[in-house]
Amino acid sequence: MSALLALNAGSSSIKFALFDLADTPLAMPPLWQGQVSGLHGPQPRYQDGLADHPLPVDQASAIQSALQHILAQLPRHLGTRALAGVVHRVVHGGDRHVAPTRLDRSTLAALRSLIPLAPLHQPHALEAIEHCQGMLPDTPQLACFDTAFHHTLPEVEQLLPLPSELRLQGIRRYGFHGLSYQYLAQVLPQRHGDTAQGRLLCAHLGSGASLCAMQAGQSVATTMGFSALDGLMMGSRSGSMDPGVLLHLLDTAHYSPAQLADLLYRRSGLLGMSGLSADTRVLLQQEADHPGARQALALYVRRIVRECGALVAVMGGLDMLAFTAGVGERSAEIRRRICEGLAWLGISLDDNANKAHAPLISSPDSRIKVVVEPTQEEWMAATAARALL
């Protein structure tokens, strides 16, 4: 008997899940799952099915501290099972990595070279991998990539309007949140039938946010491109930005590249506009009395609606709209506002189903099915890693 540990090390959290490899398909729910959240904040927390408590960490090595605590709990959940491997979610795989892979020295070097393309996420995943290699030297380490699902993008969707020699340097559109979209592509047809195999628009709305247009379960267009900054407005990220603004800041305000990165990744989006919070729950509570919160939410929804329209045009219509990730799964009000902006498509919500976060939230007379599906990135990574093992 053996098990597989899936780790998802993000910019402020580490999610984990342990799966029994004897199960076909992999057990859902897993044997054990949880997260360490608020890693770089004043009070990180450890949560799993049995525990929920503050977790003191060394801020100089927060990821290592959190992993040490997670791995210390592992033996009692493994029981008599052997640990067959650890699979890591890695945001960027570049051109080369379009399938799950075993991690060795040369692969890690290649992934390290991609840090400039995903500076908010890639370093954390690599730090987690290297720490696990040190603590579990005899256990295979594997990676699944968020960019991999989008390798089916048509060439025209990969291109950027820049000189062709830059494409040879890897400057192109990649797409992200691939594990989440791959999970939806696999599960939604089981839940909702053939409609999900048609023209499907998925909205992954969390602290990071993107849309993906799928046909026959494959990615045909997406809002994130070269980096995880592109597309929708997000919690603290700007999303698509007129490059003239950046040239202006470089020229007249003398921003350094590091200052620009900090502005676009950490001080923009809902947080920057509102001056209050990156959390839609906080902004919804405050919007009646806080003009910044009201403006931020209005632009957030507007950008989603506008990009939905663009992807519907690319597909030539729409059969199903799916919401996932933190905001998409749990904010009935944000879903309502988005669907109200897309009413021209024939979308009509069942208010009670929406408020209950039901799997199907569209009304019977809606021309488009609207569904809510909690994402399972760790399960998706474990499923792919199991096949590789």
Tens-place pLDDT, residues 242-298: 999 999 999 999 999 999 999 999 999 999 999 999 999 999 999 999 999 999 999
| Six token digits for residue 47 | 């949560």
Catalytic residue numbers, as ranges? 146
Asked if 121 and 198 sit in the same domain, the reply is no
**CA–CA separation, 340 and 336 (whole Å):** 6
193 annotated to a ligand binding site: no
**CA–CA separation, 41 and 45 (whole Å):** 10
Is residue 333 in a domain?
yes
Task: Report the domain count for the chain.
Answer: 2
272 annotated to a ligand binding site: no
Is residue 265 in a domain?
yes
pLDDT, residue 24, reads 65
**Is 80 exceeded by the pLDDT of residue 25?**
no
Is residue 179 in a domain?
no
Sign of CA dihedral 120, 121, 127, 131: positive
Asked if 238 and 321 sit in the same domain, the reply is yes
* Residue showing tokens 């902006």: 341
List the one residue out of 299, 328, 292 whose CA is nearest residue 238: 299
Please state the pTM of the whole predicted model: 0.92
Averaged confidence pLDDT in the chain? 92
Is residue 97 in a domain?
yes
Q: What is the DSSP letter of 199?
A: E
What's the mean pLDDT in 130-152?
A: 93
386 annotated to a ligand binding site: no
**CA–CA separation, 209 and 323 (whole Å):** 11
* Residue showing tokens 């800041």: 249
Is residue 166 in a domain?
no
Give the CATH number of the domain where residue 246 resides: 3.30.420.40
Q: Which domain holds residue 125?
A: 2-145
Asked if 198 and 140 sit in the same domain, the reply is no
Top mean pLDDT of 20-34, 110-124, 205-219 is at 205-219
Asked if 221 and 320 sit in the same domain, the reply is yes
Contact 8, 378 (CB under 8 A): yes
Asked if 263 and 329 sit in the same domain, the reply is yes
Contact 65, 58 (CB under 8 A): yes
**Is 70 exceeded by the pLDDT of residue 91?**
yes
Asked if 125 and 208 sit in the same domain, the reply is no
Is residue 365 in a domain?
yes
Asked if 123 and 226 sit in the same domain, the reply is no
Distance from the Cα of residue 253 to its chain's centroid: 33
Asked if 131 and 258 sit in the same domain, the reply is no
Kindly indicate the confidence band of residue 27, based on its pLDDT and cuts at 50, 70 and 90: low
Contact 83, 132 (CB under 8 A): no
Question: Helices in the chain by DSSP H: which ranges?
Answer: 62-78, 105-112, 122-135, 155-158, 164-167, 178-192, 243-252, 257-266, 269-274, 280-286, 291-315, 325-330, 332-341, 351-355, 377-388
Is residue 189 in a domain?
no
205 annotated to a ligand binding site: yes
Contact 30, 17 (CB under 8 A): yes
114 annotated to a ligand binding site: no
pLDDT, residue 348, reads 97
Asked if 203 and 140 sit in the same domain, the reply is no
Is residue 181 in a domain?
no
Asked if 234 and 323 sit in the same domain, the reply is yes
Contact 159, 172 (CB under 8 A): yes
Asked if 264 and 350 sit in the same domain, the reply is yes
